[in-house]
Structures are given as structure tokens and as C-alpha cells.
Amino acid sequence: MKVLVIGNGGREHAICWKLAQSKKVTHVFAAPGSDGISNEKVKSVSIPADHHAELMTFAKEEKIDLTIVGPEAPLVDGIVDSFNCEGLTTFGPSKAAAALEGSKTFAKEMMKKYQIPTASYEVFDNVEAAKAYVKQQGAPIVVKADGLAAGKGVVVAETEAEALNAIDQMMEEKAFGEAGSSLVIEECLRGEELSLMAFVHENTVIPMVPVQDHKRAYERDQGPNTGGMGAYSPVPHLENGWVEQAEREILRPMAEAMVKEKVPFTGILYAGLMITESGPKVIEFNARFGDPETQVVLPRMKSDLIDVIESTLNNVEMNVEWKQEACVGVVLASEGYPASYEKGVAVHIPKINDDIQTWFHAGLQEQEGHWVTNGGRVLLLSSLGKTIEEALSSTYHVLEKQQWDGLFYRRDIGHHVTSRR
Ligand code: AMP
Ligand code: GLY
């Protein structure tokens, strides 16, 4: 079987790495992929993720059996619709279904209509009405740009002034362009945040193991929001029935709701959850694998990824096998990330214990036999261990062995777990 993975980050590396272990897979192609993703079984082809027509031509010429789309942008732009029109099998949502991620208004309206637990909210396309609502509700309150804003279009305002300023920034100053022409203003939820992803096709839902991501750039959860600085799975300090509750009250009802609305969802449904005192509530839905969540969830998967995807597409809810071990991933990022950073910085990648550890490449390229940076998040070291503590210890053992000039990483990944023990 030949599989094409669209994207070039750590998430796509993890997907390709897992696919390469499948007995059913003979060839994996990553477009555009990267030097670090490529190996004997995985070939990078230099077609950018937004060149849909070229990707389709490639898939037809290579007789690709299955295409998996990593990032949200091509999904929201309808790449799956184009592939499906040509009879190419994909695992990802149509443009209409990807609106669960691409339009916060659509996601919130679906949750309201189908009584899926989430923060209460209102939608505004008018500055004065938005401000009046903030004044009436008071702080804390959350202001969100409706469209895609690379994870930056959300302000959790602790004061009314901060919320009013966010409205001006998004609507008047167009800080996120058209993504901010409509706003969702919602209740601020308190609790612990985590992610639950599931393989979905129509009414079929196969949840993965839960995972917690660290979104802030700096230790003690300080600094700007990023794509994610590290992740771990399972989430032992929170598991007393909430996974089943989230599956029952959130993932299944949403999959069924999409079928009822005639926009059936296929692909990875990612629920970003807040575990509140009254149970799990949705912060956001994504329509794809999380990054860096995938880099710690797939190493825990014992089953063949192709079996799981095929089973999902055949509407059979197979029993996915997971390792008992924990997995931890720590991101190395360029100094300055998520704002501006230098590229072309030389990086030495230390040796690891290949039985339990993997380097996932996110933003490196090979230059004359050496690795140099070409992105914000650069590498992720993923380690399995009997416990989160053991996995953390072998990860940091490797990272602390050398200086990482021009890069930084958080030394407190998993602190929600370790601080409680
Ligand atoms: P989002 O892009 O919707 O995931 O939001 C980015 C971050 O803002 C989330 O990871 C949360 O930490 C925070 N956030 C979003 N919505 C809320 C909410 N209703 N209450 C509290 N925090 C929120
Ligand atoms: N790590 C958060 C995301 O993938 O959206």
C-alpha cells in the first residue's frame, strides 16, 4: 500500500514513522516532508501543502492508496473534496466538515444546537455590540477571532479593559485580517486543559488515549501561547471516568450531529477540553491530529495505524491496543519562538536509546551533512517509560547532556503530574 502524508512538521514525522512500521505499507511519501522525515521507507516530495492540483497529480501518477492530511489549512481549503472528486481515498474532513476547526462560530452553533458542553457565548460582527456584551458580562471573559489565526486569535481577558482592547485589535485594527471580522465572546472556563483525539467516520468514533499539551512558551506556564512546547500521555492525575464522559457527551454527539447536518466528519476529531468541576467542556475542536500531541500518542499505539484507519473508514469500531507505558515529548524551539527567530543555526542531535526514544523533526534541514534550523519548533524528543516520571527522566537526561545554542526548551513538561506526587 502507498500512503501520502501532507505536511512537514513533527506531527507529520510521527504519522510517517508510525505508517512505516505497518506491514501493509510499502511506500510512504511526505509532501513537502523534510530531510529528517525521510528514510528508506519514507520519501519527501517537494510539493507544498497548499498546491492541491500538484498533489493530486502526484497521487494519481504514484497510484497512492490513501492520503492523510496533517495541517488544518489545506483541509479548510477543501483539499479532501478535490481528492475525493478524483476518486482518491483520503482520511480527513471535507471543507464543510473542517469548519469545526475553521469557524469557531460554526463549532459553537453546533455545540449549542446539540447540547454539547462548552462555554456559554455570543457571536458578534459589530464592535459596539461586542463591547456592550463584555461590559454586561464582566471579566474574566474570552475573546476569539472566528477564523483561523494560527492559534493566536484568542485572548483570555482577566479584566474588562483587556477584553475591550482585544475587540479593538481584532475588529478595528484587523490584527488577524478577515479571521477577526466576526468574534466569539465566551465564558471563561476554569479547570485543567487537555486533549482527546478520535478516529471518526460518520457515526463511527474510535477515541485515542488522552494527552496533555503545554501551550505556553516558558516554564510555569508563562509567556505567549505557542503551538505546544511539550506533551505527555496518559494524564494520570485526571483519569476517573472523564474520558468515557467526554466520549459519551462530546465526541459521539458531535460525530452524530455532523451526520444529521449532512456534513459527516471523516478524519481526526480533536477535542480541546477543559475538565471543569461540572465535567469536561469543549474549548475548541480541531479537524486533524494535534501537534505535538501526535508525537506522544502514536508511540503508545500498539495497533497498526492503517488497520485503525481502514476500520474507521469501514465503520467498524475496532479495539485499538495501547501500550501501558507513558510517553513524554519535549520540544526544542528556536530562541524567540513564537515571535521572530533566526534560521540556519547549526544543531547537533545527540544519540538516544532507539528502543524507547525518537527524535521527531519539525524545523530542521540538512546542509552539507549538518543539521540547521529552518523553523520555530525544531525538534521533539519523545520517550516511553513505565511512568511519566521515568519517561521525563530519560528525556531530560538526553537534553541536559549538551548546550543547545540558539534553542530553548521547557524543563517542566509534565509538572501537573510530578507536582502532585
Ligand atoms: P483555542 O485557540 O480556542 O484553543 O484557545 C487558546 C487557549 O485559550 C486555550 O488553549 C485555552 O488555554 C484558552 N481558552 C480558550 N477558550 C477558553 C475559555 N472559554 N476559558 C478559558 N480559557 C480558554
Ligand atoms: N497542540 C495544539 C494543536 O495541535 O492544536
Quick: pLDDT tens for 355-381: 999 999 999 999 999 999 999 999 999
pLDDT grade, residue 30 (50/70/90)? Answer: very high
301 and 338 within one domain: no
Structural domain of 15: 2-95
**Cβ of 12 less than 6 Å from ligand 2:** no
In a shared domain, residues 170 and 215? no
**196 domain residue, yes or no:** yes
> In terms of domains, do 10 and 62 share one?
yes
Between the CA of 284 and the centroid of ligand 1 the distance, in Å, is: 7
**Spatial CA neighbour of 199 closest among 377, 18, 61:** 18
Q: Whose CA is nearest to atom 5 of ligand 2?
A: 290
Global pTM value: 0.95
Last residue of a domain, one of 266, 288, 313: 313
CA gap 75, 73 in Å, rounded: 5
Closest approach atom of ligand 2 to CA 290: 4
* pLDDT tens by residue, 117-138: 999 999 999 999 999 999 999 9
Amino acid code (one letter) for 82:
S
Give the per-residue pLDDT at 308. 98
Q: What is the pLDDT of residues 67-115, one digit of tens each?
A: 999 999 999 999 999 999 999 999 999 999 999 999 989 999 999 999 9
Q: What's the CATH number where 279 sits?
A: 3.30.470.20
* 120 found inside a domain: no
Best residue for ligand 1 mutational test, from 101, 142, 197 (most atoms within 8 Å of Cβ):
142
Using a 10 angstrom Cβ sphere, with 0-12 exposed, 13-18 middle and 19 or more buried, the burial of residue 334 is buried
Residues 177 and 209 in one domain: no
Smallest CA-to-CA distance from 215 within 230, 200, 202 is with 230
Indicate the SS3 state at residue 282.
strand
Question: Based on the domain organization, do 171 and 234 belong to the same domain?
Answer: no
CATH code, domain with 352 = 3.90.600.10
Q: Do 164 and 245 fall within a single domain? A: no
Which atom of ligand 1 lies at the shortest distance from residue 272's CA? Answer: 4
The percent of residues above 90 in pLDDT, for the chain, comes to: 88
Closest listed residue to residue 144, CA positions, set 97, 108, 96: 108
CA 228 to centroid of ligand 2, rounded, Å: 6
Q: Judge if 163 and 211 occupy the same domain.
A: no
Q: To test the ligand 1 pocket, which listed residue (185, 270, 284, 293) has its Cβ within 8 A of the most ligand atoms?
A: 284
Residue 139 is part of a domain; what is its CATH number? 3.30.1490.20
Residues 282 and 199 placed together within one structural domain of the fold: yes
The residue from 95, 111, 136 where one domain ends is: 95
Are 199 and 295 contained in the same domain? yes
